[in-house]
């Protein structure tokens, strides 16, 4: 098997990393900074609502295609993946590189194995990029020691959220001890030179090692399948809850819910409509561990646009029906009236525009039609 791209072969890079580490942020950065390379993206959400795919497609207009279902690392096999890649690798698409954004709970080695097993002549495995949240690194490792194994497989490790990590140098040093021969680069808001990714192609030697390890893991995975489990998989311990509301949410009630969210509820993401409290903007919301941020962004203005609140909650040991009930109770009793101080609690978590990712601020002014890249999304059922 040859692993260097042939004249017609498109490298496929796997972008992995634990929940909320900054994969979508990095992918959006690449889409805006690809410097003439056309990127095809395949986005895998863990959760029934495709929040990540929306966040990426938001930068790309309507060129989003929904494909299949299930968590990429388990529910999709190599031949199915080939079908998805076919869409991006067809010559007419003119794509130079494909990036697969794995869900934050996917097992990267499973995806790498599938890519190595791919019989698609038009693609070649282009390397594994692991994104690490520098601020949450110690906690994540303590809960999930298998993260070390993911880092050992990586060809590039992006140590992200350096701005939030008071001891970034220590984390960088620690990550370096856990990688094999990967380049380790610090970043804020995923701002890395795209050349790092498109050049992170694994050497033949590493691929040899990977395939060897892979055989072991494949055997383990098969044993798991026979006992009908994914016990070794990150997502084995996690559940996701999806919540959609046509009625606006009350900002005070939602803040009470968020302030008292249970420990196990590690990740919340989505979009909220606060009705009369802000008729111009919807609010993207992100919680990662105890970190919480709202990002106001104007509704599209398209007539007939449904103003929905859509949230995905991901956690371990969570009581899904109870969470849904609590969210339902956040609905506003008076959606057409706004009280003067109602939004104060939310606005405390809106980032000062000066601290925001500059790519976000610029992309807000950018015409999506200027972006040529394509996105496919691979939602979970
Ligand atoms: N302060 C800070 N926040 C960041 C940085 N990078 C990303 N974020 C924020 O972290 C949150 C999660 O980022 P995402 O890019 O959605 O993370 P993800 O890895 O795609 O998340 P999942 O798909 O749920 O696993 C968002 O609120 C981002 O704005 C960073 O470098 N610094």
Query: Taking the chain, what is the end-to-end CA distance rounded to the nearest angstrom?
Result: 34
Pick the closest to residue 162 from 144, 127, 189 (CA basis): 189
Q: Which residue has the higher pLDDT, 35 or 42?
A: 42
- Nearest-CA residue for ligand 1 atom 6 is 189
E-strand stretches of the chain:
10-17, 39-44, 64-66, 97-101, 123-133, 156-160, 183-186, 238-245, 265-272, 281-288, 291-298, 309-316, 374-378
Q: What is the mean pLDDT of residues 110-134?
A: 90
Q: What is the mean pLDDT of residues 57-78?
A: 52
The yes-or-no verdict on residue 74 having pLDDT over 50 is yes
Strands 265-272 and 281-288: antiparallel
Q: Domain 237-367's class? A: alpha beta
Judge residue 237's burial from the number of C-beta atoms within 10 Å of its C-beta, 0-12 exposed, 13-18 middle, 19 or more buried: middle
Index of the ligand 1 atom closest to the CA of residue 160: 31
Residue with token string 């809106």: 350
Q: Which residue has the higher pLDDT, 232 or 256?
A: 256
Residue with token string 């040899």: 208
356 alpha carbon – ligand 1 mean position (Å):
12
Three-state SS for 229-246 is: CCCCCHHHHEEEEEEEEC
Two structure tokens written together for 305: 């646009």
116 alpha carbon – ligand 1 mean position (Å):
29
pLDDT for the residue numbered 334? 83
The yes-or-no verdict on residue 380 having pLDDT over 80 is no
1 alpha carbon – ligand 1 mean position (Å):
36
The yes-or-no verdict on residue 165 having pLDDT over 60 is yes
pLDDT for the residue numbered 217? 53
The yes-or-no verdict on residue 304 having pLDDT over 90 is no
The preferred substitution site among 19, 24, 31, 59 for testing ligand 1, maximizing ligand atoms within 8 Å of CB, is 24
pLDDT for the residue numbered 258? 97
Q: Which residue has the higher pLDDT, 97 or 142?
A: 142
Q: pLDDT confidence of 134, banded at 50, 70, 90?
A: very high
Mean pLDDT of the chain: 81
Q: pLDDT confidence of 351, banded at 50, 70, 90?
A: confident
pLDDT for the residue numbered 301? 74
pLDDT for the residue numbered 57? 59
CB of 140 closer than 6 A to ligand 1?
Answer: no
pLDDT for the residue numbered 196? 87
CATH superfamily of 10-227+369-378: P-loop containing nucleotide triphosphate hydrolases (3.40.50.300)
C-alpha distance from residue 304 to each of 13, 59, 244, 275, 300 (Å): 37, 21, 17, 16, 10
pLDDT for the residue numbered 265? 96
ipTM: 0.99
The yes-or-no verdict on residue 1 having pLDDT over 80 is no
Residue 42 contacts by C-beta under 8 Å, 6 or more apart in sequence?
A: 84, 85, 88, 98, 99, 100, 101, 375, 376, 377, 378
**Hey, is 336 helix, strand or coil?**
coil
The yes-or-no verdict on residue 296 having pLDDT over 90 is yes
Question: How many Å apart are CA 7 and CA 115, to the nearest integer?
Answer: 18
CATH 3.30.1220.10 maps onto the chain at 237-367
Q: pLDDT confidence of 374, banded at 50, 70, 90?
A: low
CATH 3.40.50.300 maps onto the chain at 10-227+369-378
Q: pLDDT confidence of 77, banded at 50, 70, 90?
A: confident
Question: How many Å apart are CA 228 and CA 121, to the nearest integer?
Answer: 33
Index of the ligand 1 atom closest to the CA of residue 162: 31
The yes-or-no verdict on residue 232 having pLDDT over 70 is no
Residue 298 contacts by C-beta under 8 Å, 6 or more apart in sequence?
A: 280, 281, 282
pLDDT for the residue numbered 204? 63
80 alpha carbon – ligand 1 mean position (Å):
29
Q: Minimum mean pLDDT among 1-15, 48-62, 169-183: which range?
A: 48-62
For residues 120 and 89, the answer to whether their CB atoms sit within 8 Å is: yes
Per-residue pLDDT of 103-114, as tens digits, reads 888 888 888 888
Question: How many Å apart are CA 42 and CA 40, to the nearest integer?
Answer: 7
Element containing residue 52 per DSSP (H, E): helix 51-57
Q: Which residue has the higher pLDDT, 346 or 222?
A: 346
CB of 44 closer than 6 A to ligand 1?
Answer: no
CA atoms within 13 A on the CB side of 136: 22
Percentage of residues in the chain having pLDDT higher than 90: 46
pLDDT for the residue numbered 17? 95
25 alpha carbon – ligand 1 mean position (Å):
6
Q: Which residue has the higher pLDDT, 88 or 136?
A: 136
Torsion sign over Cα 321, 325, 328, 330: negative
Question: How many Å apart are CA 366 and CA 362, to the nearest integer?
Answer: 6
pLDDT for the residue numbered 92? 81
The yes-or-no verdict on residue 191 having pLDDT over 80 is yes
Judge residue 259's burial from the number of C-beta atoms within 10 Å of its C-beta, 0-12 exposed, 13-18 middle, 19 or more buried: exposed
Torsion sign over Cα 117, 118, 123, 126: negative
**Hey, is 69 helix, strand or coil?**
coil
């Amino acid at each position: 098997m040859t692993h260097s791209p042939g004249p017609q072969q498109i490298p496929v890079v796997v972008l992995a990393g634990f929940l909320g580490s900054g994969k979508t942020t990095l992918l959006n950065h690449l889409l805006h900074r690809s410097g003439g390379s056309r990127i095809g993206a395949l986005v895998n959400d863990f959760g029934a609502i495709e929040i990540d795919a929306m966040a990426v497609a938001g930068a790309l207009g309507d060129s989003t295609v929904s494909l299949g279902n299930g968590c990429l690392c388990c529910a999709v096999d190599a031949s199915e993946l080939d079908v998805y890649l076919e869409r991006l690798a067809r010559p007419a698409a003119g794509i130079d590189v494909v990036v697969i954004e794995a869900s934050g709970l996917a097992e990267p080695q499973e995806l790498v194995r599938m890519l190595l097993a791919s019989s698609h002549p038009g693609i070649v495995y282009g390397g594994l990029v692991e994104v690490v949240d520098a601020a949450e690194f110690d906690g994540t490792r303590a809960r999930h020691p298998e993260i070390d194994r993911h880092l050992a497989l990586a060809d590039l490790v992006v140590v992200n959220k350096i701005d939030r990590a008071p001891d970034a140098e220590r984390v960088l040093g620690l990550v370096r001890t856990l990688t094999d021969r990967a380049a380790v680069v610090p970043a804020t808001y995923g701002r890395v030179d795209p050349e790092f990714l498109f050049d992170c192609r694994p050497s033949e030697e590493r691929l040899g090692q990977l395939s060897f390890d892979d055989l072991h893991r494949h055997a383990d995975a098969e044993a798991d399948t026979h006992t009908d489990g994914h016990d070794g998989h990150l997502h084995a311990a996690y559940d996701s809850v999806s919540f959609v509301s046509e009625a606006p949410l009350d900002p005070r009630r939602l803040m009470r819910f968020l302030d008292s969210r249970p420990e196990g509820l590690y990740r919340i993401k989505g979009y909220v409509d606060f009705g009369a409290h802000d008729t111009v903007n919807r609010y993207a919301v992100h919680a990662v561990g105890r970190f919480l941020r709202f990002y106001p962004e104007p509704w599209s203005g398209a007539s007939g646009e449904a103003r929905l609140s859509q949230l995905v909650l991901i956690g371990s040991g969570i009581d899904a029906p109870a969470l849904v009930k609590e969210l339902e109770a956040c609905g506003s009793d008076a959606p057409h009236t706004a009280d003067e101080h109602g939004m104060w609690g939310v606005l405390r978590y809106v980032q000062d525009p000066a601290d925001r990712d500059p790519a976000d601020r610029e992309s807000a002014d950018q015409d999506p039609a200027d972006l040529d890249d394509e996105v496919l999304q691979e939602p979970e059922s």
